[in-house]
Structure formats: C-alpha cells, structure tokens
Amino acid sequence: MSDNTLTIIGTLITVISSAFGFYQFYKSKQKDEILTAQLWSIFHKIYITFGSIQSSLSIYKQKHNEKIDHDMIYWLSRQESYIQTSLCVTPM
C-alpha cells in the first residue's frame, strides 16, 4: 500500500472514532439527565409521603385525644422517622 492510502485510512479511522466518541458522550449525558429526573421524582414522592404521615399523625392525635392507641402512635412515628432518614439523602 502506498503512503497516500494509509493516510486516507488513518484519517478515516480517526474521524469515525471521533464521531463515535461524541455520540457516546451525548448518550452518557442523556442517561445522566434521565437518572437525575428519576431521582428528583423519587425524592418528591418521599416528601409527599412524609407530609401524609405527619398529617395522619396529627389528625389521629386530635380525634383520639382521650383514647390514644400507643401502638398506632409508635408505628406512625416510626414511619415518620424512616422517611426523614430517606429525605437526608438528597439527589444531586
């Protein structure tokens, strides 16, 4: 093979490799954006659940002020603390 043919083949391989590298970078950024959106969605759902449990706990305490079931308070408080722990790990 002549030097001219090797130069053309080398240039072609370089251009194809560069194009593939840019494509992989674009796909990687796209995956990162999807993952970040999913993490924010999970964070939002946990936050809504936390609010629901807090509301349930306060409504239960108001309605059953005289006859409070301590097991119910225990389990609602436990769920509340579990969700608070989950909220400490925020998405980037």
8 domain residue, yes or no: no
Mean pLDDT by 10 residues, the chain (92 residues): 85 95 94 91 83 80 78 77 66 48
**CB atoms near residue 48 (< 10 Å):** 11
Give the pLDDT confidence score for residue 1 in this predicted structure: 65
Q: Is residue 17 part of a domain?
A: no
This prediction's pTM:
0.56
pLDDT of residue 91: 47
Whole-angstrom Cα distance, residue 41 to residue 74? 28
- Predicted confidence at residue 25, as pLDDT, reads 94
The tally of domains found in the chain comes to 1
| Domain residue limits at 59 | 28-87
* Integer CA distances (angstroms), 83 to 20, 40, 53, 72, in order: 43, 15, 9, 17
Does residue 53 belong to any structural domain of this protein? Answer: yes
